[in-house]
Structure formats: structure tokens, C-alpha cells
Amino acid sequence: DTAVSQTPKYLVTQMGNDKSIKCEQNLGHDTMYWYKQDSKKFLKIMFSYNNKELIINETVPNRFSPKSPDKAHLNLHINSLELGDSAVYFCASSQVGTDNEKLFFGSGTQLSVL
Amino acid sequence: AQTVTQSQPEMSVQEAETVTLSCTYDTSENNYYLFWYKQPPSRQMILVIRQEAYKQQNATENRFSVNFQKAAKSFSLKISDSQLGDTAMYFCAFMPKGAQKLVFGQGTRLTINP
């Protein structure tokens, strides 16, 4: 059973298009995240949601719109894609406030904008 | 601002040797967690080891152990009896307790040679 699953694994698209990445976790966690890994492998948080509420938005362009229909899902929609959006996007989840707090990551979505 | 610094962009050792990866961090928080994540070529982010700041005892997980120096804000990872499967990017990460945000270092690319 995959704990954090995101789809698709690969996404190739043209500049200007709109695309979505889906994420689901079956761990019962209350917090979900989106991270971006750039071409130099640096990982930076984009958003975090706790029980469907936005907690962190790290100065991400408003072309990126996360949506959390329930606490097990956090999808990422990207409008008007640009070349600089090419990266690997990771979804993650955690249970905040426990003694064993840690993030579990999905396998990543490699987005290539042409 | 909280930052994590990994000063070794790349390291390379022979199989069965011991290798230590360095990590320093900057924070004014007193209660936090530190992590090492491994990212093999498969891209999956795998948790290697976790340390709670209030625990003086260094965490160990089989061949992996840490040297946590809270006053020096240092958190190095030691891999003993290194194996070919240890070849990966290794990321040091920091999270204040309850912060819902994991801050990563730049990563160290580790190669284990046969």
C-alpha cells in the first residue's frame, strides 16, 4: 500500500497550458505539503495545509493554486505554465503534534514545460 | 530565518568504508527535530534517521548514526560499512516542533564505489 501517492509521475506540456497534479495519503495525517525540487536538487516548501486549511504559502506565484477537498487529498493546479516551472514536485504528509512527527513523501512528479 | 547548510556538495568513498556527511543549521528555536533524508536515483525521498533536539542521546538506525551537537548547531550523519545501495543524494532537514514546515539543506551527492 502506497502511503503518499501522487499522479502523474511525469508531465510534459507546452508553455501557457494549465495542468494539475493530484496527491492522496492513506496515513490518516492531518497535514499535507507541496515541495518543489529545482534542477540543482534544492527542495523548497510551497504550501502546507492542515485539516484542509492553508497554513503556509511561501511566496508562490498565484498561478499555483492548491486545493484540499479533504484532509487526505491535496491537489496542485498550475495555470499558464512557464519554462521556469519545470521541476520535480513532491507531495508529503505528516501528523503534527505527535512525538514521532516526520514527513512522508510521495514519489514526485517531474514536470517539463517546453 | 531558519537555514540548513551542507558544506559538502559531493563525496565519494569505497564500499565498506565509513563516511560522515556534515550539516549545520541556524535557529533560535529550542524545541525542534532534525532529519536526514536519502534520495536515490529513483527520486523517492526516504527518511534515514530522525533526532529530537531535547534528546541528548544520538539517534542510530543500523549502519546510520548521527552526531548531534546542539550548542554548535551541528548534525552530522555517519554511514558505517557503506554499501553500493547507499549511493544517493542526502539531505539534512530541520523542523521546529509543530511548525508544519521542513527546511532542507542543499544536499550532498554521495557515491559509493565498488
> What SS3 state is found at B111?
strand
Q: Is the pLDDT reported for residue A2 higher than 80?
A: no
CA distances (Å), B85 to each of A40, A59, B49, B88, in order? 22, 37, 16, 8
Burial annotation A87-102 (CB, 10 A radius, 16+ → b, else e):
bbbbbbbbebeeeebb
Contacts of residue A110, defined as CB under 8 A and 6 or more positions apart, other chains included, come to: A9, A10, A11, A88, B43
Residues of B within 8 A of A104 (CB-CB) are 47
| CB of B76 closer than 8 Å to CB of B92 | no
Q: Is the pLDDT reported for residue A56 higher than 90?
A: no
Instruction: Select the residue from B100, B104, B108, B110 to test the A interface by mutation, using most A Cβ atoms within 10 A.
Output: B100
Instruction: Select the residue from A102, A107, A112 to test the B interface by mutation, using most B Cβ atoms within 10 A.
Output: A102
Task: Give the residue extent of every domain in chain B.
Answer: 3-98
Q: Which of A43, A56, A110 sits opposite B100 (nearest CB)?
A: A56
CATH number of the domain at A11, please.
2.60.40.10
Percent of residues, chain B, with pLDDT higher than 90: 88
Contact B45 A96 (CB under 8 A): no
B28 DSSP assignment: S
- Greatest mean pLDDT among A55-69, A86-100, B9-23 lies in B9-23
Contacts of residue A33, defined as CB under 8 A and 6 or more positions apart, other chains included, come to: A45, A46, A47, A48, A49, A74, A91, A92, A93, A94, A103, B100, B102
> Positive or negative CA dihedral for A106, A112, B3, B9?
positive
pLDDT tens, position by position, A68-110: 999 999 999 999 999 999 999 999 999 887 777 889 999 999 9
**In which band, very low, low, confident or very high, does the pLDDT at A21 lie, cut at 50, 70 and 90?**
very high
Q: Report the Cα A32 to chain-centroid distance in Å.
A: 8
Region of poorest pLDDT, from A11-20, A95-104, B6-15, B55-64? A95-104
pLDDT number for residue B20: 98
pLDDT number for residue B51: 95
**In which band, very low, low, confident or very high, does the pLDDT at B99 lie, cut at 50, 70 and 90?**
confident
Average pLDDT score over chain A = 93
Range of the domain at A42: 4-113
Minimum CA–CA partner of B88 in chain A: A41
List the beta bridge partners of residue A22: A7
Q: What is the average pLDDT across A31-47?
A: 95
What amino acid occupies position A51?
N
Q: What is the average pLDDT across B51-79?
A: 95
Q: What is the nearest CA distance from A5 to chain B, expressed in angstroms?
A: 11
Q: Please state whether beta strands B103-104 and B88-96 pair in parallel, antiparallel, or not at all (unpaired).
A: antiparallel
Q: What is the nearest CA distance from B39 to chain A, expressed in angstroms?
A: 10
Q: What is the average pLDDT across A37-53?
A: 93
Q: What is the nearest CA distance from B72 to chain A, expressed in angstroms?
A: 23
Q: What is the average pLDDT across B73-89?
A: 97
Q: Which of A43, A50, A96 sits opposite B104 (nearest CB)?
A: A43
Average pLDDT score over chain B = 95
Q: Is the pLDDT reported for residue A1 higher than 70?
A: no
Burial annotation B100-110 (CB, 10 A radius, 16+ → b, else e):
bbbbbbbbbeb
pLDDT number for residue B89: 98
* C-alpha dihedral, A79 to A85 to A32 to B65, nearest 10°: 180
Please name the residue that has the C-alpha cell 484532509: A71
Which listed CATH number (1.10.3720.10, 3.30.300.30, 3.30.230.10, 2.60.40.10) goes with B3-98?
2.60.40.10
**Tally of domains in chain A:** 1
Residues of A within 8 A of B91 (CB-CB) are 43
